[in-house]
Chains A and B, each alone.
Chain A
Amino acid sequence: MQPSVEIVNSDTMTTFVCRGSWTLENVTKLSKSMPSTCRAKGVVFDFSHIDEFDTHGILLIIETIKKLESQNYQVEKKGQSKDFLALYEVCEINFPKKIELTIKHNIANEFFYKLGHLISESKKTLISFFSFVGGLTEAVGILVFKPQNIRFKATFYHIENSGLKALPIILLTSFLIGIVIAFQGAVQLEKFGANIFIVEMVTISVTRELAPLITAIVIAGRSASAYTAQIGVMKITEEIDAMKTMGFSVWNFLIIPRVFALIISLPLVVFFADVISILGGMLVAALQLGISFEEFANRMQESVEIKHIVIGLIKAPIFGWIIAVIGCFRGFQINSSTESVGNYTTISVVNAIFWVIAMDAVISVFLTELGL
């Protein structure tokens, strides 16, 4: 039956006859026909014609009655069935008081509050990062004197997962980088008739800068995110707490294997990336400029110093350290919500890539100033 409120006015009384089903799907419609004021001071609600009701319908009735009572109307109820009365009582006991849901600030205050919050949070993060790095260094120091505690199995597992399994994509990327550099260089060098300089151009730029950087960026995307998510989820599922209570060192079990895996595997991967990207350069040189593979190799031996390759390979473990430490550190920052897993994983990748590039810039300037 259609729900409705019928209003019957007499001299001293206004009667509201509620009919039909007062349930969730009808509440909005009913709320529009509910009175907020009425003519007589005495109000009677007649519930004897209600066929169906639930908490939402009753909530609406209670609300209306409270509103009328606050305006000094005398409200009476009649015709309640036993079930109705029982539910009505439960709802009345649990009728919520008003609560403040959102506190509105003005825009300027909000802005400065957020800025201050950001700065104080950044400071906290910086301090806890330093303490993380300190803890890691200490743990590595302890491990040096107790090498039997090194978790070789975990370390090899991470070398395989983060290094070996990243090889195909890194090799493909560096091959393409070699081709692109050589191709763009070839066009310019041909103008000057300085074709043979393609060798220096490709070899030095790739081994000294590009191969380590590309490798580090790919690994940062693959492994920093993986480390953060793994450690974060372990934190949420209390695995890390369980390890602590069993006396296992989180450093030895989780962090040091990951850090060392990247420190060890990055130079190796960079070496392969060097080889493949030079190969890409050679291919373009042969096809585009007519420089044969032998010529390329001879020229490389004559004019490219080994220091460029060595510098590239020395940078690699530093990048590995940055990626692993940031990945693990952000993982430990994850708290118990699933949203923070996503947030910190994003932050960890972005941080890792940024710091790899920043460190590369620092090293580059430093070494050039030293004349290397």
Chain B
Amino acid sequence: MSSVIVAKDIVTKFGQKIIHNKISFEVKKGEIFGILGGSGSGKTTLLREMILLQKQHSGLLKVLEYDVKNLSNREANELRSRWGVLFQFGALFSSLTVLENVSIALKEYTDLSSSAITKAALMKLKMVGLCEDVANLYPSELSGGMKKRVGLARALIRDPKLLFLDEPTSGLDPKSARDFDKLIVALRDTLGITVIMVTHDKDTISSVLDRFIILHDTKMAFLGNILELKQSKDEKLKEFTDGK
């Protein structure tokens, strides 16, 4: 299986402050890969580097075979068309309705007829567990969980092969969070998507993630799956398994 993401010796600095010190990992195709760590450990920063919102200081970072540090504008746009990103709070465009939010990428980048776009968008909304009635609402009229679902539908609209999720279950009630977990696994199984997510949620960690890394004190403290983590003797990693 080929690697979707290759990170090698990533170093990130904010001014003099070191955020990541030589982090290396690979994400394989079809995996659900987690980025874990305490708050302020640079999880989201690492994610932002993968989605071209921020640049690492040094080290190699390859996403879908593209080296993110040396990209032409055209290559960057090609790369952007092949992934979907779900932000922590949905980041829906507040001036557009739910349907417009979901369909905007199709409208801008494809030659589909408007009725086909509407159907595709509505189908994606249903796939993420929303009903068609929300289509004409504005983001300000939605609850936090619904915003996340709309955000996910928007991320999925072009059938990306790679999906980035920033804390997908934070702020959701336990049932919605578990439903969201199931949804992500189902999407991976049916659409064959590779998923990379930043998360805190212990249930997500144990039930959804295939493999994950834990960032601690600028370094990578762990790389592996939940079973390996449970066998680990390291004290500072315990909090990720037994909720203390």
Contact = CB atoms under 8 A, between A and B. Distances in A.
Interface stretch (A92-100, A187-195, A294-302): A92-100
B158 A24 contact: yes
B158 A338 contact: no
A23 B158 CA distance: 10
Interface size class for chain B? 20 to 34
A56 B132 contact: no
A369 interface: no
Contacts of A97: 132
Given A94-B123, A339-B94, A99 B190 contact: no
Interface string A97-124: 1010100000000000000000000000
Interface string B16-36: 000000000000000000000
B189 interface: yes
Contacts of B136: 99, 101
Interface string A34-65: 00000000000000000000111001100100
B1 to A, nearest CB: 16
A363 interface: no
Main secondary structure of the interface of A (DSSP, over half): helix
- At the interface, is chain B mostly helix, strand, loop or mixed? helix
Contacts of A99: 122, 132-133, 135-136
Nearest to B136: A101
Interface size class of A (residues with CB under 8 A): 20 to 34
B176 interface: no
A96 B132 contact: yes
A11 interface: no
Contacts of B189: 86
Given A87-B191, A101-B135, A337-B95, 4 more contacts: A56-B120, A90-B127, A96-B126, A338-B95
Interface of A: 23-25, 27-28, 31, 54-56, 59-60, 63, 83, 86-87, 90-91, 93-97, 99, 101, 335-339
Complex A-B, nearest 10 residue pairs according to Cβ-Cβ distance, in ascending order: A96-B122, A94-B126, A54-B159, A336-B140, A337-B94, A339-B95, A338-B94, A94-B127, A28-B111, A87-B190
